[in-house]
Structure 1
Amino acid sequence: MAAHVMAGIGGKGGTVVGVIWFENVLTYVLVGARVYTRRYIRGSVGWDDLCLVITALLMTVFAILTTISCAHGMGQHVEDLETYQFSDALLYLLCAQSVVSMAIGMGKVTVAVFLLRIVTASWHRWFLWFCIASMMILSIFLSIAVFAQCTPVESIWNPLLIDQKVCYLSLTVVAFIDCAYAAAMDFALAAFPWIALRGLKMKRKERISICVSLSLGVFAGVCGVIRTSGLEVLSNSRDYLYATSDSVIWTASEVTTTIVCVTLPALRPLYNKVRGQESSSAGYQQHDDSAYNTGGSFHMSSYANKRKDTGGLGYPKSNSNFASAEASRDPTTIKNDSDETILLQAEGKNIMRVQEVSVSYDNGNSLNNVSIKQDV
């Protein structure tokens, strides 16, 4: 039996490979910068960082499989390929699609977990957990359906077995539902901060700044809409390898845009450090799971206290004595060198500030000092 000869990268294949690897490099630059910022500047990493790293790794696997598929003929017209070249290219492309469906889900999970570190209202948390669960269920189902849609499995990519092919579900329909839901999730998570942060007592300018930075996910939603509108090519199996090239590019762009949006807000401390500014030691303090059942909230604390009281991925072992330690700090000395620090709330679900005023007066015999403290 003669060895299979690769068709070589041609047609739209070169564009596909160039785009996905450029986006992979961009992804690792941003993810690496974020992890460095969280670990060495902020003092801790969180579960959202872990989800982000997993998403980046899945995108690398997707890029490798897609590149191999392009080397076998993806991006070229079917009439320019041998039957075995078409079959090999389609097999690697199906593997890539199975992997990227998980990457899409993990990207949305990363955004939701990031927001879970900020919100405290019960319905906010329930909404985010619903987003996480529903997105992952759909992503896993699509990932499995890629190879479970027909029997025998090899008939999915081998045109020589077309007469034996029996399909139990339409991958086009499953992909359309998953892609449309993912796009809707992008828009929902982009709009969510405007609702969740509305009740916080902070300067209007600061609130808008935070919401805008977290709302950049609309661009991922736009990529998702474009990708979804092009899914009709999935039913056009005659020239599938050529027709699906644009969809592959938009898929990679959607995940990359999600990574960019969730990464940029966390890089402000690194930006300040590069500019030579002193970075604030204030960071996240997250309660244990029991705090979510009692209306717990997040508080800022110093890196020294974080190292003492935290475990695992930088989360505190207990939820006590944070507010009292912070109430004594002068609020004018706290720097918001990350958009995230503005979102931290106190026990009353509001940002609190203690203002102290000293008044000196002469009562005729002696000079008296009066200290007045006021909660604002």
Structure 2
Amino acid sequence: MANGGHTSGDAVVGVTVAFTVLAVISTSMRLYTRIFMSQMGGVDDFFIAASAFLVVALTVSMCLEVKYGMGQHQDNLTTHDNMWLNTWFWASLWLYYLSLFFAKLAILFQYRRIFPQPTFRKLNYALMVFITAYSCWTIFSAIFSCSPVSYFWMQGIDPEADGKCLNRLAVWFVNAGLNIFTDIAVTVLPLPVIKSLQLPKRPKLALMAVFCLGGVTCIVSLLRLQSLYAVSVSEDISWDNPMAALWSNLEVNIGILCACLPTLKTCIVRFFPRIFSSNRGTSSAGGVRTIGTAGYTRDSRKKKRDSIGMHFLGRGPKVAEVYEGRKAELETMGGTQIRPGSAQGSDSDKEEDGIQVVTVVQQDSTPALRVDSGRSDTESTRKLVREFPA
């Protein structure tokens, strides 16, 4: 590999801070959605919050590395700067491994909440155990890479410092290989289960695409290898470390974003309802006519429904009878022409004693989900699928 680990300190600060802000915002939105909107907070939310907290600390440590000379030649730095640069470099190593560990646990516990299949859960638990075991090693090897620990930041600075360190090239590349393997395993683990769901093609592909976004983390991990090699064999760490620091920070932040993505749509719709509004006035679900709501916020739709005595948010058929004088108002809901239908979804009108009877049937647009074994999926899976447009 080429010895290409250098970039400017300003680039490290700009990229790491920007992606950390995105990760913190997405985590905050996830926590708000899960705890306050859905009131279904779980252990996966705790782990993702811990990972976000640690990645903030990781970004701070990298910015302090830049402050003390990362991106400059080591010979141009003072003894004081070299010592603090190496100190924050040491801190960034175990913060990186710890934050990455919590992000992966958050994703796996999220899988456990969503997918109830026994075989899947066994594989999920096995992967949790493996990730926990290898992460304990990576964190331990980062903290105690030198004996005594202080030798990590004193070597080459204090002539009287005496100690020894692990082989950086061997340790860091073993850790990187295990990390890439677990990234791939976490990404592909839910795909067979999603594929087995009896869903329309579009929502199934949408679900698979969301979970496959974890593959972006794998790509970042692979791109990080070249810069990792550069710093592991370098005699001028302050000059060759910036790219490795940048890619490491990106890897954790993108992992957090991928973990939060499946829960963000509900929160986005809450504050920006027009983003996911449909342009179609009517749609058909299982042969039953439903009413679109393009161009309406949640509050305006509620007022419109209440004004004509109709409620569309529950499950099962909801029947409303309105007088002829209110028919025009009903027909213009959602900005499109709506023809009344019978309970069977026909377009025929009924006249009874001069009163126009309009029957509107509202059904859940998501069909019942079943895996190939014929076993019904849980409500958690249904809720996940309903987060994506059909």
Question: In the alignment, is the contact (CA less than 8 A) between 1:150 and 1:165 conserved in 2?
Answer: no
- Is 1:111 equivalent to 2:141 in the alignment? no
**In structure 2, distance between residues paired with 1:260 and 1:344:** 29
Residue of structure 2 in register with 1:184 after alignment: 181
**In structure 2, distance between residues paired with 1:76 and 1:60:** 24
Q: Secondary structure at the match of 1:74?
A: coil
Question: In the alignment, is the contact (CA less than 8 A) between 1:193 and 1:214 conserved in 2?
Answer: yes
Question: In the alignment, is the contact (CA less than 8 A) between 1:200 and 1:350 conserved in 2?
Answer: no
* Paired residues for 1:18-167 under 5 Å: 18-158=14-154, 159-161=156-158, 165-167=162-164
Gapped regions of structure 2 (runs ≥ 5): 1-5, 277-313, 318-361, 380-390
Aligned partner letter, 1:89? L
Q: 1:14 to 1:88 in 2, by over 3 A?
A: same
Question: In the alignment, is the contact (CA less than 8 A) between 1:102 and 1:136 conserved in 2?
Answer: no
Question: In the alignment, is the contact (CA less than 8 A) between 2:116 and 2:377 conserved in 1?
Answer: no
How much does 1:85 deviate? 1.4
**In structure 2, distance between residues paired with 1:87 and 1:351:** 56
Aligned partner letter, 1:219? V
How much does 1:11 deviate? 6.9
**In structure 1, distance between residues paired with 2:68 and 2:240:** 16
2:190 to 193, 202, 216: 193
Residue of structure 2 in register with 1:238 after alignment: 235
Question: In the alignment, is the contact (CA less than 8 A) between 1:107 and 1:255 conserved in 2?
Answer: yes
**In structure 2, distance between residues paired with 1:344 and 1:67:** 50
Question: In the alignment, is the contact (CA less than 8 A) between 2:369 and 2:376 conserved in 1?
Answer: no
Aligned partner letter, 2:364? I
How much does 1:178 deviate? 1.9
**In structure 2, distance between residues paired with 1:352 and 1:65:** 43
Aligned partner letter, 2:363? T
Gapped regions of structure 1 (runs ≥ 5): 1-9, 280-327, 354-376
Q: Secondary structure at the match of 2:150?
A: helix
What is the Cα-based RMSD across aligned positions, in Å? Answer: 3.0
**In structure 1, distance between residues paired with 2:239 and 2:143:** 20
**In structure 1, distance between residues paired with 2:369 and 2:213:** 17
Q: 1:193 to 1:59 in 2, by over 3 A?
A: same
**In structure 1, distance between residues paired with 2:17 and 2:223:** 20
Aligned partner letter, 1:179? A
Residue of structure 2 in register with 1:369 after alignment: none
Give me the identity figure in percent: 20
Residue of structure 1 in register with 2:316 after alignment: 330
How much does 1:47 deviate? 1.5
- Work out the number of aligned pairs and report it: 290
How much does 1:168 deviate? 5.8
- Is 1:175 equivalent to 2:161 in the alignment? no
Question: In the alignment, is the contact (CA less than 8 A) between 2:197 and 2:370 conserved in 1?
Answer: no
Q: 1:28 to 1:344 in 2, by over 3 A?
A: farther
**In structure 2, distance between residues paired with 1:344 and 1:68:** 52
Aligned partner letter, 1:99? L
Residue of structure 2 in register with 1:268 after alignment: 265
**In structure 1, distance between residues paired with 2:48 and 2:246:** 20
**In structure 1, distance between residues paired with 2:57 and 2:104:** 18
**In structure 2, distance between residues paired with 1:152 and 1:192:** 40
Question: In the alignment, is the contact (CA less than 8 A) between 1:74 and 1:89 conserved in 2?
Answer: yes
Residue of structure 2 in register with 1:204 after alignment: 201
How much does 1:136 deviate? 2.7
Question: In the alignment, is the contact (CA less than 8 A) between 1:72 and 1:88 conserved in 2?
Answer: yes
How much does 1:352 deviate? 9.6
Question: In the alignment, is the contact (CA less than 8 A) between 1:201 and 1:351 conserved in 2?
Answer: no
**In structure 1, distance between residues paired with 2:231 and 2:122:** 35
Question: In the alignment, is the contact (CA less than 8 A) between 2:58 and 2:92 conserved in 1?
Answer: yes
Question: In the alignment, is the contact (CA less than 8 A) between 1:106 and 1:136 conserved in 2?
Answer: no
**In structure 2, distance between residues paired with 1:38 and 1:344:** 25
Q: Secondary structure at the match of 1:120?
A: coil
**In structure 1, distance between residues paired with 2:378 and 2:43:** 27
Question: In the alignment, is the contact (CA less than 8 A) between 2:152 and 2:165 conserved in 1?
Answer: no
Question: In the alignment, is the contact (CA less than 8 A) between 1:37 and 1:269 conserved in 2?
Answer: yes
Q: Secondary structure at the match of 2:41?
A: coil
Q: 1:147 to 1:266 in 2, by over 3 A?
A: closer
